[in-house]
Structure 1
Amino acid sequence: MSENIFITRETVDGADDGPLADTTVAVKDNISTEGVRTTCGSEMLADYVPPYDATVVSRLKDAGATIVGKTNMDEFGMGTTTETSAFGATENPVAPGHVPGGSSGGSAAAVAAGEADVALGSDTGGSIRCPAAFCGVAGIKPTYGVVSRYGLVAYANSLEQIGPLAPTVEEAAALLDVIAGPDPKDATTRDPERDAPYADAADGDVDGMTVGVPTELVDGADDGVLETFEDALDDLRAQGVDVVDVSLESVEYAVQAYYVIAMSEASSNLARFDGVRYGKSGGYDGNWNEVFGEAREEGFGAEVKRRVLLGTYALSAGYHDKYYKQAQNARAWVKQDFDEAFAEVDVLASPTMPVPPMELGESLSDPLTMYLADANTVPVNLADLPAVSVPAGETDGLPVGMQFVAPAFDEATAIRAASALE
């Protein structure tokens, strides 16, 4: 059994009946649960117990689900391996000695290890899809606005979405059916028109579908990952899919733009953790700045400090236009590129991650390598699109995921394409 999947194991019973009755759910530890510790994987919130439920947690309970614990995660969602957690790294249950991906690594590991039937994660730049790929499970990153973020501890508000992880695409879609929908507590939510439940789209019927493969998201991928990806494309062709190459020139700049935007928003969001409003106290001696600094020095780990510093720098008076404004321009270009691609194809496909799961400890000393591993997932968040990661096979005994990206609010098409591989 994989170690360190949960930060807090606690059972919370839901309603007596509902669509998720007899279903156990693991919840990422940045999603608020009333009366149950919610740490965000950080020493800063080691003792924080929320007084309310996130909207998604209320919906789980109403649907009859049984919550079995809060899962380990990269601190405040900042990481690709679930190794930056203040509570220690999580091991990949299907690839011992390797990372489970991140930042929702505990949630993916809980599903892969059978510790929960399904799980909730959050995805700011791939944090559901990456661990889904690395742990050999299905994960859905919904369109921005489909799922309420009320009760999600913010990292980068304009990018992140809560979404499901499950053994199959259909089970993930059924969980999405429960948590999706408008919420008066989150003004960014909306009610997209759909003809049927998301789970109904997992019918594998892809005959006549056109799948675009962005050459920029395939170039540079690991040889074993590419081989598995090509085999999966052949599987789709055999089911009547037309596979064509497309170009997304802007994705060359997507990782840079993503990290400037995400770190800038993190710098702003994490200002509340000052030892007064939230988090560890910095003591009561000296002036407020010293107390504030002491609290953050003790409470935050190295990766969080790195991102807050870089984000504060990017937003500072002399550099706002040079970095943050440029990143927003790049974001608009990424959206435009996707729009043009979807004029020609129904869905886009790429390897979810360009590499198989890294060995534990391998990428911690090289943050840049970790950031670049997100190259295939971050463009989707910049463009506010839905995406599904589904197991595509293995390379050298390690799981490989395939990502399907659909137009905004067209989760059904991505779900249908992904289900055809199962």
Structure 2
Amino acid sequence: MNSYIEKLFTSSQKPSRRILGLMSGTSLDGLDIALCHIRGYGKGTKVTIEQFVTVPYSASFQSAIRDVFAKRTVDLQEVTLLNGYVGECHGQMVTQALQQWQINHHDIDCIASHGQTIFHCPQEQHGLSQYGNGTLQIGDGDRLATITGIITFSDFRQKHIAAGGEGAPLAVYGDYLVFSSPEENRILLNMGGIANFTWLPASHSANEVFSTDVGPGNTIIDAFVCQQYGHLRFDKDGMLAAAGTVSPDLLNTLLQHEFFTYSVPKTTGPEVFNLDYLYQARLRSHTLSLSNEDVIATLTAFTAKGIAESLIQTLGSDMTATIYASGGGVHNPVLMKTIAEELPAKITLKNLSTLGIDPDAKEAMLFAILANETLGGSACFAGNDYQIPNTTMGKISLP
């Protein structure tokens, strides 16, 4: 038997596993690497994050990704070459992290790599009846496996689509297994480039659980800050938003996209909510003369209102629940304060850290859980009312 096939079999039989979760989001700021110790699988899953680091991307790496990111027309040679290059870079980052942590690669059961999304196009977005949902992540799993010497699971979203989903959000699987509580209704809110949430009722019923995108998180804010200030990549601590004033005209225009009328679950991306979307909204609302600070304040309010209104429309204004927030948005106090002000009194907003999980590590951890489920052979959403695909995910690459 091939030694790596044997290791896969052995890992699948173990009571616990050490899995490296890798996440690179639409903010393009770096690679999140979470070393997770995972015990059990399915509803018995218990996770401890042993180590976590975000390895920042160089300016040249970011520029190369942005050349092909969320654009319908790109250089196909560039996409082809970047697929391998991103995999190699991520492999080198993992190797360096393991060296810094003084951990031997033989002690890792597998890597769970999300890759780098460059285009996401659900059918509701592209409108082409002959095609279904589509998404594309680059960062070749074979390069990762070869460089690190570790069995690698990658390209998770394709199986989700093949099984009937939109390829996103995938957080619902790990959220349900790790964060469900019989003591309270929980909402797991992630604010990366795109904002999404998972509804976890106290009933712990898989039939009621769902996850959905709700609109932009940091994607337009970050893009506008980069465009206008050059040396800045995001609105650190919400200082620019705090210095501005929200424009009601621009805010109302931004909120008029048909995406906000779709029923949940739904997905979106920077292909929709981007600088061109902002520019067209400013044209229609006659707000091209706004200061940069006023635009950023309005974009921050746009993100907050999109999140709050989606929660209210979906769950009702009388629902009692606690929101646990993660992603880059939790570090923006203006955004967090604005969301809290938009929420009904019975919904409380907290940082995910109150549950003992680093909010920056959550998404990388969730992909480690997906790989663990594939190894354990579990699927937990049969008969779900929101048609969450009852499937395991991840292509397997051997070193």
TM-score calculated relative to the size of structure 2: 0.27
Specify which structure has the higher proportion of strand. 2
Specify which structure has the higher proportion of helix. 2
Task: Report 1 or 2 for greater relative contact order, CA contacts < 8 Å, sequence distance ≥ 6.
Answer: 2
